[in-house]
């Protein structure tokens, strides 16, 4: 299987490879260069960077609102134990 490096530095992964691994647009990879070859290692789908910006919304929350929501959720989870 071959692919070609484009002038902008991009390399296209064949569709059958993307489908087999369940990769879609936005999948992030770590690049490992051992001096002789390069390996693309997919980053965990739970990484915030992988999902950041995927949900579009006009609503913007500040850090205080997010911290409050996290605190409330943790309190609820603790109360259920």
Residue 47: pLDDT band (50, 70, 90) is low
Rounded average pLDDT over 23-49: 85
Q: Residue 31 in contact with residue 38, Cβ under 8 Å?
A: yes
Residue 64 pLDDT? 87
- Report the C-alpha gap between 37 and 4 in whole angstroms: 15
pLDDT at 46 over 70: no
Residue 38: beta bridge partners? 33
pLDDT, position 35 = 94
Instruction: Take residue 58 and report the two structure tokens written for it.
Output: 């006009």
Q: What average pLDDT does this structure show over 33-44?
A: 91
Q: Is the pTM of this model over 0.85?
A: no
Which residues 6+ apart lie within 8 Å of 69 measured at CB?
Answer: 61
Are 29 and 38 within 8 A, CB to CB? Answer: no
């Amino acid at each position: 299987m071959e692919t070609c490096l484009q002038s902008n530095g991009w390399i296209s992964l064949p569709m059958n490879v993307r489908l087999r691994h369940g990769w879609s647009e936005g999948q992030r990879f770590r690049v490992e260069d051992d001096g002789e070859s390069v390996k693309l290692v997919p980053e965990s789908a739970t990484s915030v960077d992988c999902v950041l910006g995927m949900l579009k919304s006009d609503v913007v929350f500040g850090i205080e609102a997010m911290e409050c929501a996290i605190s409330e959720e943790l309190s609820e989870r603790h109360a259920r134990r």
